[in-house]
Structure 1
Amino acid sequence: MTRPLTTVVWSTGGVGSIAIDAIRRRPDLQLVGVWVHTPEKVGKDAGELAGGEPIGITATNDADALIALQSDCVVYAASGPERDAGAVPDYLRLLEAGINVVSTTSTTLIYPPAYFSPEWRDQLETAAKAGQASFYASGIFPGFGSDALALLLTTQSKRIDCVKVSEIALNDHYPVADIMMNGMGFGHPLDFEPMLKTPGFVEMAWRAPIYLIADGLGVEVTEIRGSLDRQLTHRDIEVAFGTIKAGTCGAVRTRAAGVVNGREAIVVEHIIRMARDVAPDWPTSEFDATYRVDITGDPDIHCAMNVGDAVGHGAGHAAMTATAMRVVNAIPYVVDAPPGLLSSLDLPNTLPRHAFD
């Protein structure tokens, strides 16, 4: 039997905690270290921080000590307002040290050629080459529902006129106020300008899955057209990050369309509500998280993937689990891959191992 792949988890938030539990259950992976950001978590057992039993691994904020472990892979799951700005320096150090990285933090790196910062991308490529290591970013949307699933479904196509991918989600469980309020505009009047309204932001946010699909299908995107819509809630809504007052934004809809041969041919739409009765005229779902792929062509193909049991039964946790497992299941494949910045086009289907154990 080959030795288990040694693995470090970078953060113990929702996704990181799921990764810790998943890794410790697998005989082909060995958890050897856990990084934490807050000083209060330093020195505590990683299993307990992940909401489980003690596992004998002490959490640390000493990045040098974790790099010195020379693990086979790091599962990078840190979140927060800095995101890429805070993560890229860590990626560089890890890759240069010869440590493979799988990440749910930098979703715009699911397709590295379209990364919004060519300078950072070049630095990452140089670091990966120097350390002979690989980097792979994924998640559920983007990372699967917005791209990989669509490409899988196109294997049934004779002719394609348009590929549309969409997420319809109830996100009242998401606790990060900065992202939800300042980034997306929830809880503010419509004259507030969230980060999403920054010119070019919507196009930048969804360019990676659009270009990934285009590359997979061998077509050229000549333009991306983006739009943002918001709707008010007419009642107070209690959510994980506070209270959304009546008369403020309770639903956000972004749309980005990649133009191919003069028409909008690859479309990403993202609809988030804080309650089911907000924006009733927008597409809805009876589930809390639905990921749709609609392909018009020959044949027309329509696929809806619902995550979680049903309405109000843990769709938020289910989506986080799916996000975490997109990278945990990819670890053996990324370790075996040639060095460099990878996308799902560079890997086989990252099928789970030991899922029935």
Structure 2
Amino acid sequence: MTLRVVVWATGGVGSIAIDAIRGRSDLELVGVWVHSAAKVGKDAGELAGGDPIGVAATNDAAELIALQPDCVVYAASGPDRDAGAIPHYLMLLEAGINVVSTSSTSLVYPPAYYSPAWRGQLERAAGAGDASFYASGIFPGFGSDQLALLLSTQSKTIRTVTVTEVALNDHYPVADVMMNGMGFGRPLSFEPLLQTPGFIEMAWRAPIHLIAAGLGVEIEEVRGTLDRRLTDRGIEVAFGTITAGTCGAVRTRAAGVVNGREAIVVEHIIRMARGVAPDWPSSEFDADYRVDIEGDPDIHCAMNVGAAEGHRAGHAAMTATAMRVVNAVPYVVAAPAGLLSSLDLPTTLPRNAID
């Protein structure tokens, strides 16, 4: 059976999703939503950087709902993503349309979502429309939680689980997120959104609780820390220029406390150029996703995404993010109605991926 799919937004992740779906025999792209009025009416294939495919983009949500798609791949980005996305999710779910999303990463484990009120609204909408919602990506997503749980199937005992992303983010184009949200290109005296008390704990709460749920333990609290480093040279990135003497690397750490000690840890290290913060863990690839399990046995695994020194051309982590939800579409459509996590789905194997 071919499933009818709409892609919501044509940024980096959305464009990859469009390109992937048009190459699948089990999925059919029937509509594309765009935020910009300048993109309305343009061919979705061209917006994704390819050849025309005969699907015109629209900013009319009612028009897309009327198509009665089986699923929406939601990939909108920008500040306050959840505030903008939740009304769309509710509208789609109530209409009986399944949703897979890379936008609301705090929903990778819905029971730990930071807004019980929004979670309740989503649960009611999913029930009313007999539809399902699933959020994933690469980190949060596979690299931050599911990979660790997969590796833990080899464990007799576990003392600590640490998951780490080490990546370049010079390709990310949204200046507000990178500069005001994370502090890149700002002096260390600037207080980014990341520095807001409780923000780091909130940002990484979901994957920590997902791992805990998979391992059958309770999280007592989450502790967060932030570190930033300056660049000694100017760096050209997708959202502009980072001047020397401003922030060029950011490191966050969130630790879930179990039985009074830090047992499940998420670390996130991103740079705007290699060589910034040289004393921090680094990678020659687009991104490294590392899992370190201290226990019996000790387990250490590094997953490299993208070609070495090929970061700007590959955007490999962005592709992995998109495919986590595109590959999940058939499984989410087949799942019972409700808010899902990776614990609720089988391994979302890619169909027709071998060319």
- 1:160 maps to what in 2? 158
Structure 1 residues 235-246: aligned runs within 5 Å: 235-246=233-244
Query: Is 1:288–1:315's contact at 8 Å kept on the other side of the alignment?
Result: no
Q: Secondary structure at the match of 1:17?
A: helix
Per the alignment, residue 61 of structure 1 pairs with: 59
Say whether the 8 Å CA contact 1:45–1:56 is kept in structure 2. yes
Q: Distance in 2 between matches of 1:313 and 1:249?
A: 20
What secondary structure sits across from 2:137 in the alignment?
A: coil
Question: How far apart in 2 are the matches of 1:316 and 1:169?
Answer: 13
Shift of 1:356: 1.5
2:306 counterpart SS class = coil
1:190 equivalent in structure 2: 188
Q: Which of these residues, 40, 43, 46, is aligned with residue 45 of structure 1?
A: 43
> Do structure 1's residue 220 and structure 2's residue 200 form an aligned pair?
no
The answer as to whether partners of 2:307 and 2:314 remain within 8 angstroms in 1 is no
Distance in 1 separating the partners of 2:267 and 2:190 = 22
Considering only aligned residues, what root-mean-square deviation do their CA atoms show, in Å? 0.9
For 1:167 and 1:100, how far apart are their aligned partners in 2? 29
User: What is aligned with 1:29?
Assistant: 27
Aligned to 1:81, the other structure's residue is in SS state coil
Structure 1 length-normalised TM: 0.98
- Aligned partner of 2:149: which letter? L
Note if contact 1:227-1:254 (Cα within 8 Å) is conserved in structure 2.
yes
- Contact (CA 8 Å) 1:116, 1:204: kept in 2 or not? yes
Distance 1:234 1:24 in 2: 44
Between the aligned partners of 1:288 and 1:50, the Cα distance in structure 2 is 21
Q: Deviations over 1:75-117 (max 9, x none)?
A: 0001111210000000000000000000000000000011111
Which residue does 2:168 correspond to in 1?
A: 170
- The separation in 1 between residues aligned to 2:318 and 2:234, in whole angstroms, is 26
Q: Does residue 18 in structure 1 map to residue 16 in structure 2?
A: yes
Given that residues 309 and 315 in structure 1 are in contact (C-alpha distance below 8 angstroms), is that contact kept between their aligned partners in structure 2?
Answer: no
**How many Å apart are 1:298 and its aligned residue?**
0.6
Residues in 2 aligned to 1:156 and 1:308: alpha-carbon distance in whole angstroms: 27
Aligned to 2:347: 349
Contact kept, 8 Å, 1:173 with 1:316, in 2: the verdict is no
User: Is the aligned partner of 1:310 residue 2:343?
Assistant: no
Deviation at 1:329, TM superposition (A): 0.3
Indicate conservation of the 8 Å contact 1:255/1:267, yes or no: yes
SS of 2:153 mapped into structure 1: helix
Partner Cα separation in structure 1 for residue 330 and residue 310 of structure 2: 34
Q: CA deviation at 1:285?
A: 1.6
The offset of 1:313, in angstroms, is: 4.5
Q: TM-score, normalised by structure 2?
A: 0.99
The question of whether the paired residues in 2 share the 8 Å contact of 1:308 and 1:315 is answered with: no
Deviations 1:11-63 (A, max 9, x none): 11111111111111111111110101101100011111111111111110110
Residue matched to 1:73: 71
For 1:42 and 1:275, the matched residues in 2 are separated by 35
Q: How far apart are 1:139 and its partner, in Å?
A: 0.2
**CA deviation map 1:189-243 (0-9, x unaligned):** 1110000000000000000000000000000110111000001111111111111
The count of aligned residue pairs is: 355
The answer as to whether partners of 1:308 and 1:314 remain within 8 angstroms in 2 is no
Q: 1:310 deviation in Å?
A: 1.1
Structure 1 equivalent of residue 286 of structure 2: 288
Assess if the C-alpha contact under 8 Å between 1:171 and 1:316 holds in 2.
no
Cα–Cα, structure 1 residues 340 and 51, in superposed 2: closer, same or farther, change >3 Å?
Answer: same
Identity of aligned residues (%): 81
- Structure 1's consecutive aligned runs of 4 or more residues displaced over 6 angstroms after TM superposition are none
- Is 2:74–2:102's contact at 8 Å kept on the other side of the alignment? yes
Equivalent-residue separation in structure 2 for 1:142 and 1:323 (angstroms)? 9
The SS at the match of 2:117 is: helix
Q: How does 1:88-107 map to 2 (within 5 A)?
A: 88-107=86-105
Cα deviation 1:250-269 (Å, max 9, x = unaligned)? 11000000001111000000
Aligned-partner Cα distance in 1 for 2:19–2:48: 7
AA of the residue aligned to 1:164: T
Contact 1:15–1:320 (Cα < 8 Å) also in 2: yes
Deviation, structure 1 residue 316: 5.3
Query: In structure 2, what is the Cα distance between the partners aligned to 1:238 and 1:23?
Result: 32
Does the Cα contact within 8 Å between 2:286 and 2:307 map onto a contact in 1? no
Q: 2:147 matched to which residue of 1?
A: 149
1:146·1:268 contact (CA, 8 Å) conserved in 2? yes
CA deviation after TM superposition for structure 1 residue 314, in Å: 4.6
The residue number in structure 1 matching 2:84 is: 86
**Alignment gaps of 5+ in structure 1:** none
What pairs up with 1:267-346 in 2 under 5 angstroms? 267-314=265-312, 317-346=315-344
- Distance change in 2, residues 1:47/1:105 (3 Å): same
- Map of 1:249 onto structure 2: 247
